[in-house]
Amino acid sequence: MHSSARRSPLLLFLFASVLALSAMALFWQQQGQALRLPDLGRAGKLQCASYSPFDKDQSPFDKPLQLRQARIDADLALLAERFACVRTYSMEGLEAVPALARKHGLRLLLGAWVSSDPQATRREIDRLIDAARANADLVDAVIVGNEALLRKEVTAGQLVALIDEVKAAVPVPVTYADVWEFWLRHPEVAPAVDFLTIHLLPYWEDEPTGIEGALEQVAQVRRLFGNSFAPKDILIGETGWPSEGRQRETALPSRINQALFTRGFVEMAEANGWRYNLIEAFDQPWKRISEGAVGGYWGLYDADRQDKQILAGPVSDLPHWPRWLAAAGALWLLVLLLAGRPQEHLEALGLPLTAAFGACCMAAFAELALVSSRTFGEWAWAVALLGLNLLVLLQAGLAQGSGAGWRGALLARLEARAGWLLLGAGFAGAVSMLGLVFDARYREFPSAALLLPALVYLLRPAPGPRRELSLLAALIAAGIAPQLLQEGLDNRQALLWAVTAVLLVLALWRGIRASARQSRG
């Protein structure tokens, strides 16, 4: 009888461990499950793709700018397998592009970067004119400026003067590229160009369009321009969908959504005889600095020039999911080893499941940090949150473990500092909430980083400094409704963050109550 009672927690522990491992495997397999989509039904090459010649460790802000000719050569060779043309945005450092494009049988849409710096703009225009004259047989058109009106770096009159200058100097068509709305705001630019180049990016609209309505939104705008500016032709100079980043209302970045949009758009464009250029050839990590995480992940290939399966074949939102399963599994095993075998039935059931949940939260946040972290400060913030989660997970695991010897001493030390861990989680939650309320456009939702501390300290109250905990709870609570109002109830990432915020507020409240009881005692 006594032996059977001892075996009972062990059997529960083994059962819960198998259940936890199965749940982890199912969770990560679902995150990375490949979806089979219809391949493009057309034969031959696609029309054009935006090309920026930067390696993943480079950006146009590097001084001096040292582009690698071998990289450009390899990139154009790869793109020539699928595209007939590439679009460039600047002339700086790209002197070799025409010769390499000719080598690989690619045509060009050459762009000059027009900015508020008149000297830099002059260099760009002069180089553009020289390249177009020397390669008129290769250049389909030149693009004088990209979204310069959107950035408010030049006036419409200044832009028209530059376009007129280039038109008088080159033997190829001349255009200007901007978001479609800015053509409507500045109709005086249209008569100056040979054709209009418009950008159609449903994700970035002031009222973002989800993947279900994105193609129809593109079609409506294209029809509007075709009717309004006839007989001038229209080039859709940029269109695409991001594969990573934060959700905006119903617009969710993912590889599957990127493939759905891109394949559907190409079929629609070919059926309607539209000219188009896809954005973009390769992921550009440097764009995260100015556009948030999403800016770096519009490529059809990743920054290592690996095919993301956007144009053909099965596509997965997380193709390397076995790595994250392995990382979560290793962390799960570490927590179990440190905690020791539970002696009671409830702990024997709870420890493996708690460890699995915490390990998956940490792995999910680590994956998000790899995608979104751009600066030393953001990396330091991510590492600090991962460290906080590890301490919280160890505390939760040790509390359900054997509790003897050094394990008990370690648990006592962690529980003595639990109030400070709760304070750290509350601080991170308040900072994140303030950012998402007042400056949300480029910020990620940090639910995976704070869900574990919120749940642990909701179930196991951690007494802490009442004044500070009260302030943090008030800041987080005050932001829940405004951020939901901004994002909309269809934004799943915003909803998960709202749930996490509510749990964190409750955990802070319980910490305040526990501190009050401690003071009275």
Percent residues over pLDDT 70 in the chain: 98
Q: Distance between CA 461 and CA 445 in Å, rounded?
A: 25
Q: How does strand 233-239 pair with strand 139-146?
A: unpaired
Residue 4 has pLDDT above 80, yes or no: no
Query: pLDDT value at position 176?
Result: 98
Residue 395 has pLDDT above 80, yes or no: yes
Question: Where do the domains of the chain lie?
Answer: 13-31+319-520, 36-296
Q: Distance between CA 5 and CA 92 in Å, rounded?
A: 77
Strands (E), 147-274: 174-179, 195-200, 233-239
Residue 83 has pLDDT above 50, yes or no: yes
Q: What is the residue whose two structure tokens read 């758009």?
A: 265
Among the residue ranges 16-20, 29-33, 167-171, 399-403, the one predicted with the least confidence is 399-403
Residue 3 has pLDDT above 70, yes or no: no
pLDDT band at 61 (very low <50, low <70, confident <90, very high): confident
pLDDT band at 1 (very low <50, low <70, confident <90, very high): very low
Mean pLDDT of 431-460: 96
pLDDT band at 402 (very low <50, low <70, confident <90, very high): confident
Q: Name the class of domain 36-296.
A: alpha beta
Query: pLDDT value at position 404?
Result: 81
Query: pLDDT value at position 9?
Result: 86
| Other residues' Cβ atoms within 10 Å of the Cβ of residue 229 | 19
Query: pLDDT value at position 44?
Result: 83
Query: pLDDT value at position 472?
Result: 98
* pLDDT tens, position by position, 89-113: 999 989 999 999 999 999 999 999 9
pLDDT band at 190 (very low <50, low <70, confident <90, very high): very high
Residues 6+ apart with CB under 8 A from 362: 328, 331, 386, 389, 390, 393, 448, 452
Q: What is the mean pLDDT of the chain?
A: 95
Mean pLDDT of 128-144: 97
Among the residue ranges 32-46, 230-244, 303-317, the one predicted with the least confidence is 32-46
* pLDDT tens, position by position, 243-289: 999 999 999 999 999 999 999 999 999 999 999 999 999 999 999 99
Nearest Cα to 24, choosing from 331, 389, 453? 331
Residue 502 has pLDDT above 70, yes or no: yes
Nearest Cα to 324, choosing from 367, 380, 268, 276? 367
**Whole-number Cα distances in Å, 27 to 21, 92, 247, 357, 363:** 10, 46, 20, 10, 12
Query: pLDDT value at position 89?
Result: 97
Residue 495 has pLDDT above 70, yes or no: yes
Residue 296 has pLDDT above 70, yes or no: yes
Mean pLDDT of 490-494: 96
Helix (H) or strand (E) holding 107: strand 107-112
Query: pLDDT value at position 520?
Result: 80
* pLDDT tens, position by position, 306-357: 999 999 999 999 999 999 999 999 999 999 999 998 988 899 999 999 999 9
Mean pLDDT of 137-150: 98
